[in-house]
Every structure is written in C-alpha cells, then in structure tokens.
Amino acid sequence: MPANLLELIQTLEAQRTQHAQASSAIAATLEQLSGMLGALVGGQRATNSVAAPSRAPRSAAATAPAAKSDTGTKGRRKRKTFATTGQESVLAFVRAKNNPTSAEIRKHWESEGRGGSAHDILSILVGAKKIKREPLKGQPGSRYKIT
C-alpha cells in the first residue's frame, strides 16, 4: 500500500506541474490578447485583464512597480492649499466688488485656481447669514451682499 500511495503522490505532483504550466500559458495568451484589443480600441491596454493565478515564485522583476506611461491618464489630483480659506476669499471678494453676481464670484474662484465650485461656499455663507442672496430678475443667477 505505501508504494501505491507514493505513486499516487508522484502522479498528482506531475499533474499539478502540468496544470501550472497550462495556467501560465493561458495567462500569457490572455495578456497578449488584452494588449492587442486595447491597441485596437483606443491605444490603451485593458486594465481588467483576466489572468490565472500562478503558483510559481515571483522574481524581483515581476514584483517591481511598472513604469508610468503617457497614455493620457492623469491620476489622482492633490489637494491644494491657499493662504486664505474659500469662505474668506469669497467674503473679501463680495466686500470689494459690492454686490457681485454668482457668475462674477465663480470667475474669481476659478482665477484663484481653486477646485470644486464656489456655489458650495456661497450656500454655506448664506446659511450662516454672513451674506445675503438676491435672485436676479429674468435671468439665472443671484447677487450677493454682505449682511
């Protein structure tokens, strides 16, 4: 019986090796197809390629981070910091401009290089009763004044 058990273990190990080789061959083929399809569709490689997991140990080259490519992806933006807060900036602009419209405030906001929308800050300031909103008649937008 131990001889049969030893043969069975050897057979299973041989099959496992064959399956691992077949799995890595399938993964390589899928990677090639993914690259070709990405090139055909829009010049970018598909990012969700399906690759079979490999049981073989990884080499240092396989675990090294990939080099960045110039395929048009921008990545995550960093949060900017400014000398004044958004609320302080809008309040100062409303004081200096004397009843500016929401379009003027938006242009000022963008000219400072701030992200997002000035409308969020305007809502906060109106809710805190630091500025007053007066709708423009016959057109979209509002005028704002210090209260």
- DSSP H helices, 79-135, are 86-97, 102-111, 118-127
* Alpha-carbon torsion (42, 48, 51, 55), positive or negative: positive
Distance CA 118, CA 125 (A): 11
pLDDT of res. 100: 94
> What does the pLDDT read at residue 131?
93
Domains and CATH numbers, the chain: 2-49 (no CATH), 86-146 (1.10.10.10)
Please report the pLDDT score of residue 84 as a whole number. Answer: 87
Ranges of the chain whose pLDDT falls below 50? 46, 49
Closest alpha carbon to 35 in 47, 24, 23, 17: 47
Indicate yes or no: pTM above 0.95: no
131, 100 contact by CB (below 8 A): no
